Amino acid sequence: MVVLLAAGCQVQIHTTVSMQSNGHGTVTQAVGFDDAALSRVGNLDAQLHVDDLKQAGWAVDPAVKEGDTTWVRAHHSFSSPAEATTLIGQLSGPDGPYRDVVVRHSDGLLSSSSSVTGVIDTTAGFKMFGDPDLIAAMGGDGTGGLLDRIANEEGRPAADMVTVSFTSEIPGISRTTDVVFSDTKPSAFKVSATHSNLKDLLRTLVVLGLLGGTVFLIARRVRSHRLRTRRLMRRGPFQR
What are the tens digits of pLDDT across the range 159-210? Answer: 788 889 999 999 889 999 999 888 889 999 999 988 765 566 566 666 667 7
Residue 5: per-residue pLDDT: 47
State whether residue 130 is helix, strand or coil: coil
Within 13 Å and on the Cβ side, how many CA atoms surround 159? 14
Asked whether residue 7 carries a pLDDT value surpassing 50, the answer given is: no
Rounded to 5°, the CA angle 29-31-33 comes to: 165
pLDDT (tens digit per residue) in 120-165 = 998 887 777 666 665 566 555 556 566 667 767 777 777 788 889 9
The pLDDT value recorded for residue 1 is 46
Mean pLDDT of the chain: 80
